[in-house]
Amino acid sequence: MFVDQLINGIVLGSIYALMAIGYTMVWNVLRFINFAHGEVYMGGAFVSLYLLLLDTPIWLAYLGGVCAGAFLGYLMEKVVYMRMRKAPKLNLLIAAIGISIVLQNVAQYIWGATPERLNSPFLSKNFTIADMEINQHYVFIIILTILVMIVLELFMNRTLMGKAVQAASQDINATQLMGINANKIISITFAIGSAVGALAGILVGPVFLVYPTMGVFAGLKGFTASVMGGMGNIPGAMIAGLLLGIIESFAAGFISSGYRDAVAMVILLFILLVRPQGIFGKIIQQKV
């Protein structure tokens, strides 16, 4: 029972962690919450689903979904957010909520409201380890999440581009003065964050189904995890995502399944009371 719930929690947490990365990365460069991030998750899953219906090999369909997600994020930035650079951040926030609602309805118009199941080669197979059954797709989710985290860590710390993104997150105006093309950095940030978000959607597609409003809930949880981890802190977002998943799973398993979300939110409130900057966040002194 304990190990079962732990595995359930890690799988759920992996998805939250992948979602949280997108919120945190965008926050880093633009200092606003992209509430349309959940729709990237949905878009990626739908594109994969339809590539699979066209008899595309499964790896190509997954890759296509990720690329489509990245492109959708890039497009959002180029078409809407870029024109609002000088506008108050609240305008951006409202624009994001607007994009989110529009994309949900566009998705329902194109693909219909009926949930569909994304295929996975692993879904119907279980590993049996010492009397315990572990689904292979769950293992696939965990492995892919770890891989993404390693690649992202390497990209941010070992490549020039990653360092430029880090610089932009410290002060976007100063980076521009140093001769870095800030618009390019913002585009790249959106594309990477969205690709990771789309991957999350594709990974849950076989387990939780694909439908137009699938991004709402995942988006909320990813956002929660990114706040928990300290807004702007990528490793923090990953760990907080995992933590949130595990807490939820234990809350449902050992306390009450009806109050799973409530329990998770109470814990979040507690964390924010004790550490307002998030678990891994640093307090940044504001210059007056």
* Interacting residues toward other proteins by CB under 8 A: 1, 4-5, 8-9, 11-12, 104-105, 108, 112-117, 123-124, 126, 132-133, 135, 137-138, 204, 207-209, 211-214, 217, 248-250, 252-253, 256-258, 260-261
- Coil vs helix vs strand at 133: strand
Distance separating alpha carbons of residues 87 and 52, to the nearest angstrom: 41
| Between 118 and 164, CB nearer to other proteins | 118
Kindly report the length of the chain.
288
| Between 58 and 63, CB nearer to other proteins | 58
Q: How far is the CB of 65 from other proteins (least distance, A)?
A: 18
Q: How far is the CB of 44 from other proteins (least distance, A)?
A: 16
Q: How far is the CB of 254 from other proteins (least distance, A)?
A: 8
Q: How far is the CB of 262 from other proteins (least distance, A)?
A: 10
Distance separating alpha carbons of residues 244 and 267, to the nearest angstrom: 9
- Coil vs helix vs strand at 232: coil
Distance separating alpha carbons of residues 206 and 204, to the nearest angstrom: 6
Burial of 210 (0-12, 13-18, 19+ CB in 10 A): buried
For residue 122, report the phi and psi dihedrals to the nearest 5 degrees.
-105, -10
| Position 206, amino acid | P
E strands of the chain, at which residues? 126-129, 132-135
| Between 149 and 246, CB nearer to other proteins | 246
| Between 144 and 209, CB nearer to other proteins | 209
| Between 63 and 207, CB nearer to other proteins | 207
Region class of 224: left (phi > 0), else alpha (psi between -120 and 50), else beta: alpha
Q: How far is the CB of 173 from other proteins (least distance, A)?
A: 33
Q: How far is the CB of 8 from other proteins (least distance, A)?
A: 4
| Between 1 and 160, CB nearer to other proteins | 1
